[in-house]
Structure 1
Amino acid sequence: MNIDYLKEFVVLADNGSFSGAAEVLFLSQSSLSKHIKALEQELDVLLFRRTTRCLELTEEGEVFLSYARRISRLQYEYQTALYHSRQKKSSTLTIGSIPVMAQYGITDTILLFHQSNSSFHVNVLEEESTVLKQMLRNGQCELAFIREGQETEPDFVHIPFAADRLAAVCSSASCFGEEKQLLLSSLKKEKLLLLNEGTLLYSLCISACEEAGFTPNVSYTSHRIENIIDLVSKNMGTALLMQKQASYYARNSDIRIIPIHPELETHIDLCYLKGHTLSPIARHFVSCVYLSGEQGNHDIPAPARNYTTKV
Structure 2
Amino acid sequence: MELRQMEYLVTLADERHFTRAAQLIGVSQSGLSAGIRGLEQELGTSLFTRTTRRVEPTEAALALLPHARALLDGERAARDAVVHATHQVSGTLRIGTEQCLGVVDATALIDRFHRRHPQVEIQFRQAGSHDLIDALRSDTLDIAFVAAAAHLGTLPHQQLGHEDLVLVCPPGHPLADASVASWEQLAVEDHVDFDPSWGVRPLADAAFESRGMMRRVRFQVSDVHTLLEFVDRGLGVAIVPRHVSNKPQAARLVTVPLPHDAPRWEVSVVQSRKAGSDSAAPHLMELLADAPACRGAVVVRADAAIPASAG
How many residues end up aligned between the 2 structures? 224
| Residue 178 of structure 1: aligned partner | 177
Q: 1:115 to 1:167 in 2, by over 3 A?
A: same
Q: Distance in 1 between matches of 2:183 and 2:80?
A: 46
Residues 165-213 of structure 1: CA deviation (Å, up to 9, x unaligned): 3211101211222334322332122111111244442222121112234
* 1:232-243 matched pairs, under 5 angstroms: 232-243=231-242
Partner SS for 1:100: coil
* 1:1-311 matched pairs, under 5 angstroms: 78-84=82-88, 91-100=91-100, 104-149=104-149, 151-248=150-247, 250-251=249-250, 253-261=251-259, 262-274=261-273, 276-292=275-291, 296-298=292-294, 303=298
1:263 deviates by 2.7
Q: 1:108 to 1:76 in 2, by over 3 A?
A: closer
- Indicate conservation of the 8 Å contact 2:190/2:235, yes or no: yes
State the TM-score, normalizing by the size of structure 1: 0.63
Q: Which amino acid aligns with 1:171?
A: P
- Indicate conservation of the 8 Å contact 1:94/1:123, yes or no: yes
Q: Which amino acid aligns with 1:207?
A: A
The runs of 5 or more residues in structure 1 that have no matched partner are 1-13, 15-72, 306-311
Q: 1:102 to 1:123 in 2, by over 3 A?
A: farther
- Indicate conservation of the 8 Å contact 1:98/1:145, yes or no: yes
- Indicate conservation of the 8 Å contact 2:130/2:199, yes or no: yes
1:153 deviates by 2.0
Partner SS for 2:86: helix
1:240 deviates by 1.6
Q: 1:291 to 1:198 in 2, by over 3 A?
A: closer
- Indicate conservation of the 8 Å contact 2:141/2:272, yes or no: no
Q: Distance in 2 between matches of 1:246 and 1:279?
A: 40
State the TM-score, normalizing by the size of structure 2: 0.63
Higher RCO (C-alpha 8 Å, min separation 6): 1
- Indicate conservation of the 8 Å contact 1:92/1:121, yes or no: yes
Q: Distance in 2 between matches of 1:266 and 1:279?
A: 33
Q: 1:80 to 1:206 in 2, by over 3 A?
A: same
1:275 deviates by 6.1
Q: Which amino acid aligns with 1:165?
A: D
User: Deviation above 6 Å: which 4+ runs of structure 1?
Assistant: 73-77
Q: Distance in 1 between matches of 2:269 and 2:166?
A: 24
Q: Distance in 1 between matches of 2:179 and 2:278?
A: 47
- Indicate conservation of the 8 Å contact 1:194/1:202, yes or no: yes
Q: Distance in 1 between matches of 2:161 and 2:80?
A: 22
Residues 251-302 of structure 1: CA deviation (Å, up to 9, x unaligned): 4x4101222112311222111133643435221111111133xxx244766x
- Indicate conservation of the 8 Å contact 1:167/1:260, yes or no: yes
Q: 1:278 to 1:206 in 2, by over 3 A?
A: same
Q: Distance in 2 between matches of 1:198 and 1:107?
A: 21
Partner SS for 2:265: strand
Q: Which amino acid aligns with 2:210?
A: E
Q: Distance in 1 between matches of 2:266 and 2:277?
A: 23
Q: 1:298 to 1:257 in 2, by over 3 A?
A: farther
| Residue 32 of structure 1: aligned partner | none
Q: Distance in 2 between matches of 1:304 and 1:264?
A: 20
The runs of 5 or more residues in structure 2 that have no matched partner are 1-25, 27-76, 301-311
Q: Which amino acid aligns with 1:189?
A: V
Q: Which amino acid aligns with 2:253?
A: I
Q: Distance in 2 between matches of 1:97 and 1:284?
A: 17
Residues 231-266 of structure 1: CA deviation (Å, up to 9, x unaligned): 211222211222223433634x41012221123112
Q: Distance in 2 between matches of 1:304 and 1:180?
A: 35
